Amino acid sequence: MPRYFFDIHDGQLQPDTEGTECADFEAARREAMISLPEIARWIIPSDGDNQAFTVLVRDEGGALVYTATLTFAALRLDSGPDSGRGPTG
């Protein structure tokens, strides 16, 4: 079974040195797509409102065969309770 490597980039490159065995390219592609929301789930709450997460998939020979990016962008629209304004505005 071929081995694929899933490098993560979220502002810094985190290379995958072990890799994962996948049946074929399509299985590796699915693994990349599934991993992005999981990565974002753990990083977004602690790291701000604007994030991009990229998975770079390499084959056993080191060639880049697939890349996927998930972007999270949030913007607070009201002044909220921390704005320093009183309860009446």
pTM of the complete model = 0.78
Q: Which domain holds residue 9?
A: 3-83
**82 Cβ partners below 8 Å, 6+ apart?**
none
Q: Per the structure, how many domains does the chain have?
A: 1
Q: CA 43 to CA 73: how far, in whole Å?
A: 13
**Residue 70 domain-assigned?**
yes
**Residue 79 domain-assigned?**
yes
**Residue 88 domain-assigned?**
no
**Residue 36 domain-assigned?**
yes
**Residue 78 domain-assigned?**
yes
In this predicted model, what pLDDT tens digit does every residue of 41-85 receive, in sequence order? 877 767 677 888 999 999 999 999 999 999 988 888 887 666 555
